[in-house]
């Protein structure tokens, strides 16, 4: 059976170079599972693999989408699944590497079918929310979908509005689509998480932010100012610099915030992957050669 090796873990844990080594060993290709590296417009700030790494091993879902297009976990699942099928025709194994937990889950377990949301419905929901507030939307949801209302994080506008969009679009309760079914996959998956001691991760994050700045993050962010209203640009490393360009913060403060927000992001990723089923943690704080870790991965069955 074909095997998909998944390399997950928090940001700055060293996934990229690790995956390159693994893929070289397996003589195969890498699929990225990163909701930001997937965009063409973003490079330095999202820690895209280096040109050298990209030349070494073919990568997929790096710099493929446009920030303006609809992008979400469902689209990723669909496209990635399709690509995986194609690639398995010439490889026995593949490497999936990334830190976007939802994207990885969508690919591994599937994501329930939901109707596409028309622009009219989306705008209507947004309008209602802006005009009437969250409490009102909660009540509408309670009426439209009592079951989901009882489950959702009712304080989170994102969740409430999304459910309502689906309700309005389909005329059916959101929960009628939410089967949480586990999709069948034609390949086997082996899931690994890279972790490091907290202090070490913090050090790596700070260092990497410094490097990004040296590589020209400031100029990259500045060039993206025209796109800053897009969700894709609501990203650590860019949003803080937009505030700097708007003169809302000093450059120093912006940089400090990037470090802080990156740490917080890493923590959320740890929380997510900690509950990922069948994930095996590899603690890279332990000084071991790359070969040691690769051997470990290949010996898991």
Q: Is 13 in the site for RNA (CB under 7 A)?
A: no
Tokens matching residue 15: 């996934």
Find, among 40, 97, 11, the residue nearest to 233 by Cα.
40
Q: Which of residues 198-217 bind RNA (CB under 7 A)?
A: 198
Q: Could you give the CA distance from residue 273 to residue 105 in angstroms, rounded to a whole number?
A: 10
Contacts of 195 (CB under 8 A, 6+ apart): 9, 10, 13, 270, 281, 282, 283, 284, 285
Rounded (to 5) percent helix, strand, coil in the chain = 55, 10, 35
Q: Considering the rule CB under 7 A, would residue 185 count as an interface residue with RNA?
A: no
Say which residue the tokens 């459910």 belong to.
163
Residues 301 and 284: their CA atoms lie apart, in Å, by: 21
Query: Which residue from 299, 296, 295, 294 is spatially nearest to 22, judged by alpha carbons?
Result: 294
- Told to check if 74 binds RNA by CB under 7 A, we report yes
Contact with RNA (CB under 7 A) among 118, 223, 271, 285: 271
Instruction: Verify binding: residue 49, RNA, rule CB under 7 A.
Output: no
**Residue 193, interface with RNA (CB under 7 A)?**
no
Q: Which CB sits closer to RNA, 91 or 157?
A: 157
From the CB of 58, what's the least distance to RNA, in Å? 19
Nearest distance from residue 72's CB to RNA, in Å? Answer: 4
Site string for RNA, 137-176 (x = CB under 7 A): ----------------x-xxxxx-xxx-------------
CB of 301 to RNA, least distance (A): 27
Contact 33/108 with Cβ under 8 angstroms? Answer: no
Residue 179 touching RNA (CB under 7 A): yes
Spatial CA neighbour of 22 closest among 72, 82, 91, 86: 91
Binding of RNA by 71 (CB under 7 A): yes
Per the CB < 8 A criterion, the answer to whether 40 and 32 are in contact is: no
Q: Using CB under 7 A, which of 111, 141, 164, 224 touches RNA?
A: 111
How many angstroms separate the CA atoms of 93 and 56, rounded? 17
**Cβ closest to RNA, residue 248 vs residue 267:** 267
Which listed range, 20-28, 80-88, 233-241, 286-294, lies at the site for RNA (CB under 7 A)? 233-241
10 binds RNA (CB under 7 A): no
Place of tokens 């070494």: 56
Collapsing DSSP states into helix, strand and coil, what is residue 14? coil
Q: By CB under 7 A, is residue 34 in contact with RNA? A: yes
Residues forming beta bridges with residue 281, ordered by sequence position: 193
Which tokens hold the place of 215?
Answer: 């590589």
Q: Which of 25/239 has CB closer to RNA?
A: 239
**Residues binding RNA: number (CB under 7 A):** 57
**Closest to RNA by CB, 169 or 297:** 169
The residues that touch RNA, with contacts defined as CB under 7 A, are 11, 34-37, 45-47, 71-75, 99-103, 111-114, 116, 153, 155-159, 161-163, 178-181, 198, 231-232, 234-237, 260-265, 267-272, 274-275
């Amino acid at each position: 059976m074909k095997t998909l090796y998944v390399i997950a873990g928090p940001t700055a844990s060293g996934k990229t170079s690790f995956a390159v080594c693994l893929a070289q060993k397996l003589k195969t290709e890498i699929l990225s599972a990163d909701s930001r590296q997937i965009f063409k417009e973003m490079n330095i700030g999202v820690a895209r693999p280096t040109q050298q790494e990209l030349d070494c091993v073919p990568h997929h879902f790096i710099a493929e989408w446009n920030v303006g297009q609809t992008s979400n976990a469902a689209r990723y699942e669909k496209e990635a699944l399709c690509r995986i099928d194609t690639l398995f025709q010439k490889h026995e194994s593949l490497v999936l590497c990334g830190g976007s937990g939802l994207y990885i889950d969508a690919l591994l377990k599937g994501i329930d079918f939901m109707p596409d949301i028309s622009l009219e419905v989306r705008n209507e929901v947004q309008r209602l929310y802006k005009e009437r507030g969250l409490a009102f939307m909660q009540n509408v949801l309670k009426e439209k979908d009592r079951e989901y209302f009882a489950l959702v994080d009712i304080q989170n506008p994102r969740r409430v509005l999304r459910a309502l969009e689906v309700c309005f679009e389909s005329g059916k309760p959101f929960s009628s689509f939410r089967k949480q079914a586990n999709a069948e996959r034609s390949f086997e998956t082996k899931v690994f998480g890279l972790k490091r001691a907290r202090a070490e991760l913090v050090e790596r994050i700070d260092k990497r932010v410094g490097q990004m700045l040296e590589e020209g993050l400031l100029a990259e962010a500045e060039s993206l100012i025209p796109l800053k209203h897009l969700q894709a640009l609501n990203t650590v490393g860019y949003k803080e610099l937009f505030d700097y360009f708007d003169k809302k913060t000093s450059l120093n403060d912006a940089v400090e915030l990037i470090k802080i927000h990156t740490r917080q992001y890493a923590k959320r990723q740890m929380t997510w992957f900690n509950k990922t089923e069948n994930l095996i943690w590899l603690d890279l704080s332990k000084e071991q050669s790359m070969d040691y870790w690769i051997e470990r991965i290949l010996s898991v069955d």
